[in-house]
Amino acid sequence: MTSPSERDALQLKFRDPERGKALVEKLAHLTESLGRSPVAVMHVCGSHEQAIARFGLRHVFPKALDVIMGPGCPVCITDVPEVDEGVALAQQGVRVATYGDMLKVPGSAGSLADARAGGAKVDIVYSVSQAVELAQKTNEEIVFFATGFETTAVATAAEILRGPPPNFSVLSAHKYIPPVMEIVAEMPDTRVEGFLAAGHAATITGWGVFEAFVERHHLPVVVAGFEPLDVLAGLVRLVELIHDKTPKVDNMYPRCVSREGNVVAQQQLWQVFRPLGGRWRGIAHVPNGNLRLRDEWAHLDARRRFHIDLARLWTFAPPTLVQHCICGDIMAGLKSPTDCSLFGKECLPDTPVGACMVSSEGTCKIWHQYGGHPELTRAVEVNP
């Protein structure tokens, strides 16, 4: 146990409340100087929403600033047919290893958790290397159901280049973030005036990857980290750029992110994967938004190794509740969880209807856990 003063010294400087307050004031002042309301900006990362929610930052955001969570949760945007592929493979008797978050994501006829309850072999792993270890210990076919953005896709790529055992293959549902920002920017209803880009993804891609985007759409992009002061400083810079009408890429996470990024990781990523257009759940068809294995890795591609019998799943009628789910609109930034008639009622972390209530990075799960709605946390000042 440390004394309060010692603790202050130990406390990460990126969580300093005093600096936080100064940034909040600056953000309020800048937003006000824009002279219109609301001003909408979007972050495209579940980790940003986690930081915002965990430190209660929505409570101190200016009312006129609408910080929207975009399609930044890899679990949430994994499309129903992709979940179905995993479920079908598991039901066909193939052992499927995947991240814990994927377990409860509903497909068109149940989730991997349902398949497991029905006797299918589904393993939870924390990393692709754990799935490889699993394959090394058995003669059974192990399919790694791979989800996540370029941050986790790089890990999958590295494992493939290392040469996994012959009974290992990959069902890739990996996604690539930059193309979806184009989609959001081009949506006819979009109100987004700037993007907060994910620091960890930019560690791989480099901030330079957003330059072409800024040129095309004249919207500023600020790369930010995940401590509360990182998020606040990123937003301050973003609103500054909106105010100055100088759309450009700015790196507010220089302690980790460079313009070029991690070149070795990028080489490995593109050596293994190729971008392919495909649907993101609830969003749209995203050109070049999916990462699929290149032909030279066909022998490790579960889609080519197995006949995945999807049709047999479709004999089930989709559950009716799903028709009321607005995960798509929430991820596109058009609506918030409290607009959903299922939120907190039929749709709960234990019994999720939509994918956004499953993952710890999903907007609905985060709002359910931390009370995302600012009105929930406005309380009279009482000082003990």
Which residue ranges make up the site for another protein (CB under 8 A)? Answer: 1-2, 4, 10, 15, 17, 20, 46-47, 53-60, 74-75, 99-101, 103, 124, 126, 147-149, 151-152, 200, 228, 232, 345, 349-350, 359-361, 368-371, 376-380, 382-384
At closest approach, how far in Å is the CB of 349 from another protein? 5
Report d(CA 142, CA 144) in Å as an integer: 6
- For the record, the structure tokens of 317 come out as 């009628």
Minimum distance from CB of 325 to another protein (Å)?
19
Nearest residue (CB) to another protein, 3 versus 315: 3
Least distance from C-beta 188 to another protein, angstroms? 31
First to last CA, the chain: 22
**Rounded Cα–Cα distance for residues 276 and 179 (Å):** 11
In the complex, what is the shortest distance from the CB of residue 170 to another protein, in angstroms, rounded to a whole number?
15
C-alpha Rg value of the chain to the nearest Å? 21
Question: Given the complex with another protein, which of 110 and 220 has the nearer CB atom?
Answer: 110
Beta-bridge mates of residue 300: none
201 closest CA partner among 175, 182, 183: 175
Nearer to another protein by C-beta: 275 or 371?
371
Residue closest to 79 by CA, chosen among 57, 52, 55, 105: 105
Strands 273-280 and 284-293, how do they pair? Answer: antiparallel
> Smallest gap, in angstroms, from Cβ of residue 51 to another protein?
10
18 vs 189, which CB is nearer to another protein?
Answer: 18
Q: Which is nearer to another protein, 156 or 251 (CB)?
A: 156
Instruction: Return d(Cα 78, Cα 94) in angstroms, integer.
Output: 20
- Which residue number, 91 or 359, has a Cβ lying nearer to another protein? 359
Both tokens of 65, joined, read 């600033």
Q: How far apart are CA 254 and CA 27, in angstroms?
A: 21
CB-based contacts of 85: which residues, under 8 Å, 6+ apart?
171, 303, 308, 310
Q: How far is the CB of 369 from another protein (least distance, A)?
A: 5
